[in-house]
Chains A and B, each alone.
Chain A
Amino acid sequence: MLTISTTVFAQDSANEAALTEAAAPATDGVGDAAAGEALFKANCASCHNLYKKRTGPALFGVGDKYESAWLYEWIKNSAGLIASGDARAIEIFEEYNKSPMTAFPGLSDTDIDNIIAYTYTEKKAPAVAEVPAGTDGGNGGGGVSNNIILGALALVFLLLVVMLFLVTNTLKKIASANGVEYPTKDPNRTPIWRVFVENQFLMLVSSIFLLLASAYFMYGFFMQVGVDQGYAPVQPIHYSHRIHAGANEIDCNYCHSSARKSKTSGIPSLNVCMNCHKSIGEVAEGVQVEGLSEYGVDYNKEIQKLYKAVGWDEAEQTYTGKTEPVKWVRIHNLPDFAYFNHSQHVTVAGVACQTCHGPVEEMEIMTQHAPLTMGWCINCHRETNVNVAGNDYYEKIHDELSKKYGVEQLTAAQMGGLECGKCHY
């Protein structure tokens, strides 16, 4: 896998280099596309895409449409240019619903040249076409090789069994040939099961054992009824926590903002998604490839599902007003008779989300990590100290209680966190 992806990257950069070189002569100034890319990502990417209309126009080949001098002026102070009555400036301002472009007075002319150079980067052919052959093969190879090894092992064992059989046979033959008497079965001997049945003590012991064992397994079975640890339902939109919380390191509370102030952590409304996805209509090449190969998911299609739900017309960059609320499948279900408040744990206690929800940042598909049973809650309350630092509410209570119990730090249980009515009302 590693080798494959490196080759892909090598190819990409080679392509890029070639394309930039080919395109470069068209520009007035000569820019450094690599430096331009960094600048583009830092300054422009939130509103512009090279090939697609976003908040602002697609920038591919923008240097062909406008001369450098005009672009310098526009980028450094677009409002000024519009105010001066420049026809082209006004036209573009009108076209994009009169949303003014941020002025970038800090960019030098060279910087702008670099960015323009970068805008000539040709769109890569969809990675899907070229990659699968290699990846699929590799992947399949891995699967096949495992099977082959297992199959070979099975074959070896089978051979061993056959050989063993043959060896005994041969030995028997040799024995009979040598005149060694081979003991035959005594037809009057009581079969072993009868001996077992007739031995009452053995029967008693084994039936007790059986009963205990079945009780044990029955108990285990019944105790897991309604416990959905590991529940990972298919969601209407494939949402990868791995990418958002893991790779992009988005804070959990950014989307689940009500966890800080409400009893529910809240499934983010779609307008929260659109804060970023308004300008992220496609995932990066590598991510897309990985999604297809590792998880069989086309992330770009999933983003399109989001757009459909929220009613976002990507081409026109407008909301159509036609919305379809997303019916997510709820994963963590507490029974109605248990009251749980996120803000108590997140804001007051400062418990990390991962404590209960597991390594979410590694989960491609969200899974119920904890059993969410009462025993699990209570264990944590018994073991966890109350976070009293800098909280005036606890000052008096904690002082007096810790004196009473003779401890330095009180656990949630000692604070009253095991009382029935604290969670059941």
Chain B
Amino acid sequence: MASNKKYWKSVEELNENSTIVETLQKNEFVTEIPTDEFLGDKETLEATSTTRRDFLKYVGFTTAAASLAACEGPVIKSIPYVIAPDEIVPGVSNYYATTIADGFDFANVLVKTREGRPIKIERNDLDGVNGSVNARVHASVLSLYDNNRLKTPLVGGKESSWADFDAAVAQKMNEMQGKDIVLMTQTFASPSTSKLIKEFTGKYPNVRHVVYDAVSSSEALDAFQTVYGTRAMADYDFSKAEVIISVGADFLGDWQGGGYDAGYAKSRIPENGKMSRHVQFEANMTLSGANADKRVPTSPSQQMQVLKALTGGSASGLPENIAQAVASAKAQLAKAGSKGVVITGLPSVDAQVVALRANAGSVVMDAQKPKMTRQGSALEVSKVMQGVLNGNIKGLITVGVDPVYSFPNNKKFTEAYQKLEMSLAFAMKKDATAELAQLVAATPHYLESWGDAQLKKGTFSLMQPTIRPLFSTRQFQDSLLQWTGNSKKYYDYIKETWSGVLGTTSWSKALEAGVLVSGVAVDNEVASAGAINLESATSNNALSSTAQSGGMELTLYTKTSMGDGQQANNPWLQEMPDPISRASWDNYVTVSAMDAKDLGLTNENVANGGLNGSIVNVKMGDVVVENVPVLIQPGQAKNSVGLALGYGKKAAVQEEMQTGVNAYALYDNFSTVQNVTLEKVSGTHEFACVQLHNTMMGRDIIIETSLEIFNTQNVSDWNPIPKVSKDHEEIPVTSPDADLWTSFDRSVGHHFNLAIDLNACTGCGACVIACHAENNVPVVGKSEMRRSRDMHWLRIDRYYSSEESFVADGEKKDSMSGLSESLSQFGEMENPAANPQVAFQPVMCQHCNHAPCETVCPVAATSHSRQGQNHMAYNRCVGTRYCANNCPYKVRRFNWFLYSENDEFDYNMNNDLGRMVLNPDVNVRSRGVMEKCSMCIQKTQLSILEAKRDGRPVSDAQFQTACSAACDKGAMTFGDINDHDSKVYKDKKDKRMYHLLEAVGTEPNVFYQTKVRNSKEA
């Protein structure tokens, strides 16, 4: 039936006498084309001797000439070493053990180098290693090749030589004699550096050392010092835990230095019918909350009460649901006895002390060998800030910290900083502080430096350079040696310090391992802040005042991708989607749906799948952070908001990566909890969010069950094989009768499979960055991300379920009847609940044995191998994108543009320095071809080749993909299922095993382990 509706594109069109509409309708082109003007110019036209025919001839000739010239190959030069180093064989990787200690991330790592270039960070899996190799650590290799790094020292803002620089410093130090200078450093956790700083302050008594952590753990240090006497942080081994109660502690994120996820994941695998129970009370939706068995949205002020109630106080005043959860948690904690643990992330010494005391008898907490990875004291740093502001401090030397960017009242501080008599910054980049400093010492990246660290009491680590310094940089420690008149190099200095640590181990052995567990404990603490005054220390006051005033409670947090913001100029990290919000290239204020409604804040999806959000000003007293985008976060506690630190950096950050707002402005008193008000401003913000807030609508993409059902019922009840109908009879989809295809025989040789355990996966995203580094995955930028043209071969899908469990979703779907009812009910399912359940699912190419992509490729560019890998021959691909269309998992990525050597995509692949990180064994794909996960075929092929060369079978541990190697939680297991002793074979036979969209019959070589939640209340 023809419609007589009027469609219109613009309001103007409704105006009947609009001239502009008429003109636009008549004109083929919006702007006039100057043909008349051109043809009217008789003189020029007649003067020219080129006829139209001649013109066409020229065009034809030049085209032909250009194409003929293109036939000739370029001359390629090969330049060998003049004197080849013994250890380098071109084309073979070398691995070195080293340690990252950048003040925020501390971990023992292995560095893969090719022809002397570090190209990838791997985990060091020796005994005694510390720290977690998270996404930021994996990405740190790219920060080495950052084009914005300082290339020489600066004197008065001008490039200078080290000799001139040293002279300038000496002169300055002379002038400053007797005046108060503060040496403000990052946490080094290094015994040698501590010793050296003591020597330096000994020589210059007017210099005082203060440690500043941009994201402070001061309250935890103060509390530990109060209880145990040393300034350190308790270590926790969650693998021993049976009950974990976390009150606002995102311990799977960066809580107290982070690195607890591997242990946690171990306790989450249901073995012998047992797994840990995890209850999380928190305001923002964090990784820990997302992984918890029970998550209770609790605002920070309520958290304080929860903690008190848990440790013996009363639960009065708490809302009923929270009080109930507390009672239940308390009972479970009591039952677990020494295997229970209470942790808190509240920025209050009291709270931390309470938690420490509560855990005194717990086997999970280790107070004997505490962690040393944070040492800053908020009180001391505040004093320095005050001193600079009121002019008592005359000189400031900053090392690895950027106070001009990260101090809370940075406007006043910036002015005061410029008035200092002496300002010296040790920095890798010309960051906000270095930009204003009189003297700037260019420091090398950790991959270019020597160093040592004591990450945990009694466990020592070494840092060794894996490449010659790229620029004219000098380590902070070498500068100190120079200035204290010590002729030694820092390398020798470390060796000297280590003579007391090594014991029977040789230096070379220790260097090879990168880590050494020693009975000796060397002091690498800073002189503590003296007696801690609980009243004034940190932010007790802020916390209690929050509850009283009328605003919203803000919890500042760090993202798994950006951390404290040191690596803001790293495109891999910028492009990495936040595990929870799935938004990249931004920070934003997270608001609960109810609060958003009250404040009139909205989020909406536009036609291209992009997410738009309202914009607010965040006010805290007289501090205003303007134009902060709003993201409505399911699960956000009511009356609370969240905002990530580390964004909004401008200095030494490429324009494309100057994203987000600087939330450090709100980090008053170095407390993560603040009281703010939101004020809506006009406009909308465009997010680059790669997954919409859709629920699963009851599809079995994630199969999950409860521990109780898992233990008591049959597999067919909780992990059934889908059935299909054949001749009106239901048969399992895995039966050969249900198969349309004739199958290849894969029983001989290798058959690779990848197992993904949904119970162990915390969604941290280390695998995403590892995949980036291994496979030369390009960065596409915010605008392309928004168009969902991200190139990530491996994504971690985050699913919310509206009901308390996915099972309930399924039941709802099954019980729907009729069209109208189902439409409205599906609509309901899309509404994110106030407190949804969350599940993470890493998805990469599933390498289907019966791959739908292979059959539709017109040029056979994608084909199957006997080893189970689905091959993609880029040079064969013509870019029809049929394969991506036919892929049920949506894992294929199309190169819409040329992402390397293209000024439009000015990221690491567009400069010589950034390209040094590329893996020479993997292609850099060009425009117009499809790409996808190859199951790291370059790695499996290498393992096979090495075995062939040595004439031995390949052992199970030698088959790895980049993601499985990066996962320290054991969530990804890769191997050969034809080797029946392999771990992956056992996983495949496990009853939790299922394939993604099994009903489609694609028989993937990637499989998942059903998620089991320990949902039993006490």
Q: What is the interface of chain A, defined by CB distance below 8 A to chain B?
A: 225-226, 228, 233, 258, 261-264, 266-272, 309-311, 323, 325-330, 333, 335-339, 341, 343-344, 347-348, 390-397, 400-401, 404, 416, 419-422, 424-425
B924 touches A336 (CB 8 A): yes
A348 touches B949 (CB 8 A): yes
26 residue pairs of the A-B complex, CB under 8 angstroms, read: A226-B71, A226-B73, A233-B75, A262-B90, A262-B91, A264-B91, A267-B80, A270-B80, A271-B82, A325-B79, A328-B78, A329-B76, A347-B949, A392-B953, A396-B953, A401-B749, A404-B745, A419-B863, A419-B866, A420-B871, A421-B871, A421-B937, A422-B941, A425-B871, A425-B922, A425-B937
Confirm or deny: B872 has a beta carbon within 8 angstroms of a beta carbon on chain A.
yes
B749 touches A397 (CB 8 A): yes
Our count of residue pairs bridging A and B at CB distance below 8 angstroms stands at 154
Q: A392 and B951 in contact (CB under 8 A), knowing A330-B76, A424-B873, A425-B923? A: yes
Q: Which residue on A lies nearest to B867, using beta carbons?
A: A416
A338 to B953 CA separation, bound complex (whole angstroms):
26
A395 to B71 CA separation, bound complex (whole angstroms):
46
A421 touches B865 (CB 8 A): yes
CB-CB contacts of B140-173 with A at 8 A, as 1s and 0s?
Answer: 0000000000000000000000000000000000
The interface residues of chain B lying within 8 Å CB-to-CB of A400 are 747-748
The interface residues of chain A lying within 8 Å CB-to-CB of B871 are 419-421, 424-425
Interface centre among B73, B948, B951, B954 (most CB of A within 10 A): B948
A424 to B865 CA separation, bound complex (whole angstroms):
12
CB-CB contacts of B944-979 with A at 8 A, as 1s and 0s?
Answer: 110111111110000000000000000000000000
The interface residues of chain B lying within 8 Å CB-to-CB of A270 are 80-83
The interface residues of chain A lying within 8 Å CB-to-CB of B80 are 266-270, 325-326, 328
B952 touches A424 (CB 8 A): no
B865 touches A419 (CB 8 A): yes
Question: Told that A325-B82, A416-B867 touch, could you supply 13 new A-B pairs with CB distance under 8 A?
Answer: A225-B71, A264-B90, A271-B81, A323-B83, A325-B79, A327-B79, A333-B76, A336-B923, A344-B945, A391-B951, A394-B948, A419-B863, A420-B876
Smallest CB separation, A417 vs chain B (Å): 11
Confirm or deny: B715 has a beta carbon within 8 angstroms of a beta carbon on chain A.
no
The interface residues of chain B lying within 8 Å CB-to-CB of A262 are 89-92
Confirm or deny: B921 has a beta carbon within 8 angstroms of a beta carbon on chain A.
yes
Q: A337 and B89 in contact (CB under 8 A), knowing A323-B82, A393-B948, A425-B938? A: no
Q: Which residue on B lies nearest to A310, using beta carbons?
A: B82
Q: Which residue on A lies nearest to B866, using beta carbons?
A: A416
Interface size class of B (residues with CB under 8 A): 35 or more
Q: Which residue on A lies nearest to B865, using beta carbons?
A: A419
A225 to B944 CA separation, bound complex (whole angstroms):
35
Confirm or deny: B77 has a beta carbon within 8 angstroms of a beta carbon on chain A.
yes
A263 to B949 CA separation, bound complex (whole angstroms):
13
Q: Which residue on B lies nearest to A386, using beta carbons?
A: B948
Confirm or deny: B682 has a beta carbon within 8 angstroms of a beta carbon on chain A.
no
B949 touches A269 (CB 8 A): no
Q: Which of A267, A330, A397 contacts B748 (CB 8 A)?
A: A397
A74 to B398 CA separation, bound complex (whole angstroms):
66
Confirm or deny: B84 has a beta carbon within 8 angstroms of a beta carbon on chain A.
yes
The interface residues of chain B lying within 8 Å CB-to-CB of A264 are 90-91
Q: A420 and B863 in contact (CB under 8 A), knowing A329-B78, A337-B874? A: yes
Smallest CB separation, B479 vs chain A (Å): 28
Q: What is the interface of chain B, defined by CB distance below 8 A to chain A?
A: 71, 73, 75-84, 89-92, 745, 747-749, 861, 863, 865-867, 869, 871-876, 921-924, 934, 937-938, 941, 944-945, 947-954
The interface residues of chain B lying within 8 Å CB-to-CB of A263 are 91, 921
A421 touches B934 (CB 8 A): yes
Q: A258 and B874 in contact (CB under 8 A), knowing A270-B83, A390-B951, A421-B934? A: no
Q: A392 and B952 in contact (CB under 8 A), knowing A269-B80, A333-B76? A: yes
A267 to B81 CA separation, bound complex (whole angstroms):
9
A347 to B949 CA separation, bound complex (whole angstroms):
6
A311 to B748 CA separation, bound complex (whole angstroms):
56
B78 touches A267 (CB 8 A): yes
Smallest CB separation, B749 vs chain A (Å): 5
A271 to B85 CA separation, bound complex (whole angstroms):
10
The interface residues of chain A lying within 8 Å CB-to-CB of B947 are 393
A361 to B1011 CA separation, bound complex (whole angstroms):
64
Q: Which of B71, B89, B951 contacts A261 (CB 8 A)?
A: B89
Q: A420 and B91 in contact (CB under 8 A), knowing A326-B79, A326-B80? A: no
A401 to B978 CA separation, bound complex (whole angstroms):
14
Q: A348 and B89 in contact (CB under 8 A), knowing A327-B79, A419-B866? A: no
Smallest CB separation, A228 vs chain B (Å): 6
A74 to B665 CA separation, bound complex (whole angstroms):
83
A424 touches B71 (CB 8 A): no
A420 to B934 CA separation, bound complex (whole angstroms):
12
Q: A393 and B873 in contact (CB under 8 A), knowing A264-B91, A269-B80, A325-B80? A: no
Smallest CB separation, B701 vs chain A (Å): 27
B945 touches A269 (CB 8 A): no
Q: A341 and B78 in contact (CB under 8 A), knowing A262-B90, A404-B745, A421-B937? A: no
Smallest CB separation, B633 vs chain A (Å): 39
The interface residues of chain A lying within 8 Å CB-to-CB of B75 are 233, 329
B921 touches A339 (CB 8 A): yes
The interface residues of chain A lying within 8 Å CB-to-CB of B951 are 390-393
A175 to B831 CA separation, bound complex (whole angstroms):
115
The interface residues of chain A lying within 8 Å CB-to-CB of B876 are 420, 424
B948 touches A348 (CB 8 A): yes
A339 to B920 CA separation, bound complex (whole angstroms):
10
The interface residues of chain A lying within 8 Å CB-to-CB of B949 are 261, 343, 347-348
Q: Which of B84, B748, B863 contacts A404 (CB 8 A)?
A: B748
The interface residues of chain B lying within 8 Å CB-to-CB of A404 are 745, 748
Q: Which residue on B lies nearest to A336, using beta carbons?
A: B923
Q: Which residue on B lies nearest to A402, using beta carbons?
A: B748
Q: Which of A337, A392, A395 contacts B875 (CB 8 A)?
A: A337
The interface residues of chain B lying within 8 Å CB-to-CB of A336 are 923-924
Smallest CB separation, B816 vs chain A (Å): 44
Q: A269 and B748 in contact (CB under 8 A), knowing A328-B77, A329-B77, A348-B945? A: no
The interface residues of chain A lying within 8 Å CB-to-CB of B865 are 416, 419-422
7 nearest interchain CB pairs?
A421-B871, A262-B91, A269-B84, A269-B81, A263-B91, A330-B78, A420-B873
The interface residues of chain A lying within 8 Å CB-to-CB of B954 are 393
Q: Which residue on B lies nearest to A397, using beta carbons?
A: B749
Interface centre among A267, A330, A393 (most CB of B within 10 A): A393
A250 to B745 CA separation, bound complex (whole angstroms):
47
Q: Which of B873, B875, B944 contacts A335 (CB 8 A)?
A: B875
The interface residues of chain A lying within 8 Å CB-to-CB of B79 are 325-328
The interface residues of chain A lying within 8 Å CB-to-CB of B71 are 225-226
Interface centre among B745, B950, B951 (most CB of A within 10 A): B951
B73 touches A228 (CB 8 A): yes
A323 to B83 CA separation, bound complex (whole angstroms):
10
Smallest CB separation, A260 vs chain B (Å): 8
A271 to B84 CA separation, bound complex (whole angstroms):
7
The interface residues of chain A lying within 8 Å CB-to-CB of B869 are 421
A266 touches B91 (CB 8 A): yes
A401 touches B948 (CB 8 A): no
The interface residues of chain B lying within 8 Å CB-to-CB of A225 are 71
Q: A391 and B92 in contact (CB under 8 A), knowing A325-B82, A420-B873? A: no
Q: Which residue on B lies nearest to A274, using beta carbons?
A: B83
B952 touches A393 (CB 8 A): yes
Q: Which residue on A lies nearest to B74, using beta carbons?
A: A333
Q: A401 and B937 in contact (CB under 8 A), knowing A269-B82, A393-B953, A419-B865? A: no
Q: Which residue on A lies nearest to B921, using beta carbons?
A: A339
Smallest CB separation, A164 vs chain B (Å): 45
The interface residues of chain A lying within 8 Å CB-to-CB of B952 are 392-393
A272 to B924 CA separation, bound complex (whole angstroms):
33
The interface residues of chain A lying within 8 Å CB-to-CB of B81 are 269-271, 325
A401 to B368 CA separation, bound complex (whole angstroms):
58
Smallest CB separation, B892 vs chain A (Å): 15
